[in-house]
A and B are shown apart, each in its own frame.
Chain A
């Protein structure tokens, strides 16, 4: 009968939209901006109404925009930044929904949300950093190779740790 207000938490919702916007802004292809824009709109719908599916669709559309830019030979740093932005937008967006559902609007949740967003951002920075360093340093004809080897390493390690 009675229920508390379970709308998505505001702080995370805001950060998610900003991350999505950042992902679009960082890529200089107009097509990506348009496609990404649609993604951000879905994202907005999701964090305002609490629809997880909209957040997922929004992030995926954003991702497609970034991939498209990549296939049009965008710069490595743009791609890395935009991808991280997309993942953060999805992660923090979903977080705003699950915090809203479990704790409600009246609760003070800013601290938990900010710590989570910061953590995601740090991972993004680390991944981008490593990826960028390997990609640019590993010239000598086979820049992809080193990256691939490292990728294989990650897959193997991750598969080993948890199943």
Chain B
């Protein structure tokens, strides 16, 4: 590889000399006519260099270092932000991995049972039954999410709105259930 470099470098040096010679002694150019072929070759060389430049550009973007951003203090989430993030992530997954969804449902169910028991002065078992029946909340979506098979599906218009909306279905169900639980707690 360095042999080629040396050849090119020497060629370059010779050409520089020649070029300046032609500048200084214009008559010389007429006397030593550079064959048309040589010019064509040089032109093609230039074209080749151009193509090589394009190849390099094609394969690489303009890059630069990305230095760290030290201007800000520590940034942490509010409690519950991780829950929202996990729900958003789970909602977009194609393949359902049972464990994750169950955990979310369990967390909501546990919270719901305790909240309903506290709100209405019931025992845990009675609260569980009420949730199973879907009578703990006015929100049909939340009732359906935590309810048993006897709980009716949310009304058609609600389901249609959810389907047409941009929020994924799972996320909607979870959000409304979380809100229903929080509302029940606030109302105690």
Contacts and interface: CB of A to CB of B under 8 A. Distances in A.
* Chains A and B are bound partners: yes
Interface of A: 1-4, 52, 94, 98, 101-102, 133-134, 137-142, 145-157, 159-161
Given A134-B19, A146-B19, A148-B39, A153 B26 contact: no
Given A3-B69, A142-B30, A149-B22, A159 B64 contact: no
Interface in B68-85: 69, 71-72, 75
Contact of A140 (B12, B18, B29, B39): B29
A147 B12 CA distance: 14
Contacts of B19: 134, 146-147, 149-150, 152-153
Determine the interface band of chain B, counting residues with CB < 8 A from chain A: 35 or more
A156 B67 contact: no
Nearest to A147: B19
Interface string B18-46: 11101110110110001000010010011
B65 interface: yes
Contacts of A137: 23-24, 26
7 contacts: A102-B66, A146-B20, A146-B22, A146-B29, A147-B19, A151-B46, A153-B15
Contact of A156 (B11, B23, B69): B11
B62 A102 contact: no
Contacts of A153: 12-16, 18-19
Contacts of B49: 155, 159
Given A94-B62, A102-B64, A102-B67, A156 B29 contact: no
Given A145-B22, A146-B23, A160-B12, A155 B29 contact: no
Closest 3 CB pairs of A and B: A140-B26, A156-B12, A153-B15
A152 B15 contact: yes
B8 interface: yes
B84 to A, nearest CB: 14
Given A102-B67, A138-B29, A148-B42, A154 B23 contact: no
B5 interface: yes
Contacts of A101: 64
B8 A98 contact: no
Nearest to B39: A148
B67 A149 contact: no
A52 B6 CA distance: 37
Contacts of B46: 151, 155
B9 A156 contact: yes
Contacts of B66: 102
Nearest to A145: B29
A145 B25 CA distance: 12
A74 B23 CA distance: 22
